[in-house]
Amino acid sequence: MDVAAATRSEPGDAGNGEVLSPFWLVSNRVECEEASALSRKVLGRSVARERIGAGLALPFDARCCLTMRPDIGLMSCFDPAPQWIWPGAEIEGRRHVLVRPADGRVVIEQAGRRVALKAREAVVLALEPDTRFSMVQIGRMDLISLDAARLPMLTEGGATGLMRPVPRGNRGLQVLAHYGALLLRGMMPLHSTVLQGLAIDHVHDLVGVMLADRSTPMPFAAGDRRAGRLMAIKADIEARLERRDLSIDMLARLHGVSSRAIQKLFETEARTFSDYVLERRLERAWHRLVMEEANGATISSVAFEVGFGDLSYFNRSFRKRFGRSPSQVRADQS
C-alpha cells in the first residue's frame, strides 16, 4: 500500500536529539483535505504532508495513524477495517503490544484463545502470525509497542497477564490513557533524548501497574461518583482542549448524560463549564508561550493551537487572567 506521511517534526535543538512531535501516517485512500480535517480535529491544526515509500501497511488497515517522531512506541489508528489479521511482523523488534479500542468493541482471536474488549478496555498480547481482530463501530484503536526487557512480567511465570482484558476502571489504565494522549498530541515538551527515555520508562511503568492491579474497582458512594464523573469529564476536556468545537453538548454525548447534569457538576466548584475550559486554555497558552520559544511559535499560533478562534478575545482574556499580555510573558523569557 502506498502511504503518505504528514508531519510537523523538526530537527533537534542544541545537539539534544530530535524534538518529539506528532507524526501522521496517512493511507493513499485518504485525500489531502480529509487528512487535514482530521489533523485539525485531533491536534487543533493542520500539518505538512510528504510522500514516503510504497509497501508500508498501517496496523488494522487503518486509514491513518498518529504516532511520534522519534518513535516511542505509541500509536492511534483511525477508522480501522472491520476485519484484520496481524501479518506476523514484530514492531521494531518488539513482540508485545497493548491494544485499546477508544470506542465500539473488538474481538481478538489468537492460538485458540479469544478475548472481547469494549470501549476503553485494554489487553496486552504477544504478537503471533494470524492473530485476528474483528472490530465493530470502532473509530480509533490505540496501540503501544512494549519492550519485554522493561517489563519482565511479560515473559516470566507463564505471562499470566497476556490475553486478559483490563477493565476501563483500572487505575493504571486510566492514567496510562491520559498520559499517552498528552504525549501523542505534543502537549509535553520532551525535547531531549533523556526526557524521551523517561517517557518510555513511564509508559512501561504504568503498563506494569495496570497488569499488577487485577482488583475490581470498588463501587463509589453518591458523592464519590459525582467527583469521579467530574474528574473523567475534566480528563476528556484536557484531551480535546485544542478543538474549537469543544462544547458541553459534545461531552454530554460522550458520557451519556444531559448538558445540565454536567453544568451541575461544575456548579459544585462554583463555576461553569465554560469558565473551566477558558481557564485551562489560558493556562496551556501560558505554558506554551514559556516553553516553546525555541520553536519560534507566534502568539497567534499558540492561541489557535489551544482552541481560541479569535485572537483579540484571547489577548483580552489572557491579560484579565494573568495581569500581563501574552507578548509581555513571551518577552520575559528572552
For the segment 184-232, what is each residue's pLDDT rounded down to a tens digit?
A: 877 777 778 888 899 999 999 999 999 988 665 555 455 566 777 888 8
Domain region containing 158: 2-212
Among residues 212, 246, 273, the one where a domain terminates is 212
pLDDT reading at 12 higher than 50 = no
Among residues 172, 187, 212, the one where a domain terminates is 212
User: What value does the mean pLDDT take over residues 144-155?
Assistant: 88
pLDDT reading at 315 higher than 80 = yes
- Residue 21's DSSP bridge partners are 69
For residue 258, the 8-state DSSP code is -
Co-location of 231 and 305 in the same domain: yes
Co-location of 199 and 229 in the same domain: no
Among residues 177, 212, 247, the one where a domain terminates is 212
Co-location of 10 and 99 in the same domain: yes
Co-location of 125 and 68 in the same domain: yes
- pTM across the whole model: 0.66
Q: How many domains does the chain have?
A: 2
Check residue 113 and give its pLDDT.
Answer: 87
The enclosing domain of 125 has a CATH number of 2.60.120.280
Please, is 149 exposed, middle or buried when counting C-beta atoms within 10 Å of its C-beta (0-12, 13-18, 19+)? exposed
Co-location of 66 and 145 in the same domain: yes
Co-location of 254 and 199 in the same domain: no
pLDDT reading at 3 higher than 70 = no
Co-location of 27 and 169 in the same domain: yes
Question: Is residue 217 in some structural domain?
Answer: no
Check residue 15 and give its pLDDT.
Answer: 36
Co-location of 156 and 282 in the same domain: no
Residue 11: pLDDT band by 50, 70, 90 thresholds? very low
CA angle 30, 9, 46 (to 5 degrees): 45
